Chain A
Amino acid sequence: MNDSVIILTLVSAIGIGTPILLAGIGEMMTEHSGVMNLGVEGMMLVGGVVGFWASTETASIPLAMAAGMLAGVLVALIHAFFSVTLRVNQIVSGLALVTAGTGVSSFIGGLDNSALGGMRSVSTLDPVFGGDITDLPVVGPLLLGHDWVVYLSWLLVALAGFWLFRTKKGLALRAVGEDPATADAAGIAVTPIRYIYTLVGGAGAGLGGAYLTIGVFGVWQNGITAGIGWIAFALVIFAGWRPWRALVAAYIFGALRNTGFTLQIMGVEISSDILNALPFILTIVALIIISARPVAARAFRAPSALAVPYARESR
């Protein structure tokens, strides 16, 4: 039963869905502070190559993940400086990150003449729970068969949801993203919060990138993300800026990403271009459905000050 097409599809959806989820949760936190970072793809690539390089150098997965995360944070710092301190257009700055991240990651991947490209990952991520327990029908492969990064991503979803909607820190964060002038008047420091959560977004993307190269593919290749960063960006919108919805949506997007293979096995011919476009089409459909229902539109709309720079004395 654990070998059925459905179970296998779901398991592989969780595999490819995890980097989407990690990057998406990070971007979600960033956007709740009113900063939009379109550079997820670039941050994931840099995190991916640095993480992969660290794994070949240190043979330690936790260190490699940390290195990928840190790389993502550094790239996000550029965006924070441009969009929060210099208040440049966030779309321009974010798109620049994509281009720069693509270039920088290819450059790092080709350093030392010892091209990382094509090299297999030194160590692999093993499932946390070994043995018979993963043979349990359905629950085994779906809930118990994963490596620690997957469980970490679930923990992060829960933490993000709690942080955003139950704590004062989260309240302050959302206030900054909704209405920075009000937050400022209430004594909340807008700039530091926007910086911190932009970096949190970088950490998520970097970790997601590292997991993609080490945990999912086990190789580094130029441009290996192939649009996964953009899917993570769409995920935030599709999930209506809610972490728990992002968890489900990430796996739906992950499943779509893998549907091509499944359909091929089942003998159905369908263009992979269409399948790759599906997450974005779904996002648009979700937006249409939500906007047609006023109550949902209020609950699941973007933070009001998203992508709007804040200057205290502007008038």
Chain B
Amino acid sequence: MNTIWALAGVVIKEMYRRKDFYVLFVLTALITIAAGMVNFFDDPKIVRYVKDICMLLIWISALLIAIVTTARQIPAERESRTIFPLLAKPVTRGQFILGKFFGCWLATGIALLVFYVFFAIITGSREQYWPWLTYLQAIWLQWAMLAVVIALSLCGSIISAAPSSTTTICFIAVAGILLFGGHLNMVALHQSQPLQTIFYTIYFLIPHLEWFDIRDRVIYDWGLVNWLDCVLATLYAAAYTGLFLLLTWLGFRRKSLNT
């Protein structure tokens, strides 16, 4: 485990020493503050509007941080050749993959925490109300969902060596799942064969990332999600994360690395 945490530590250091996170955080903060200052249509419930914008920005920023950070990990190691002195040490390829995964996941978790603290301060200062448990569930479920996204991006970075193409493909896939994944079964109902089978197969194969989205509960204060559902969602995310990490390891373990 020491090797895995050492590898993860380097990824976390990389995140806080690069500008990506700060740029996204400042943008989110500026847009949210600007939106909070504008009082459209004299609506007294403007705070919901601010919450909606802030949550959307947090989701987009967290996805960007997770995918961009992960997609560049292995290609950057190969390009700068740091992978060679690293794997020349008693580090297995499995440890390398796990170290990168945990590093990206923890780094994204830290970023997510900063975003949510900002969100709580902004909305709490307007409403004088802090539903901490709802925030805790929201951040946990989003972080669990990001574990799947990070494992998927890591898997993509083994297939495609260019971080830009991995980032684009993963972002499209994740956005597609979040926006349309939950409706694929309804689409399948209105199709003829073989399209119906294809749509159903995709529906049952893809990780349903939209299940982790409880933004509306936070925005409209609908109360807590059943804790058992949270546990099941966590197990669901763990299963898909494990699957993608296994595929990454299978693809990477026999890969020739020529210096």
- Say whether A associates with B: no
**B contacts, CB < 8 Å to A:** none
**A contacts, CB < 8 Å to B:** none
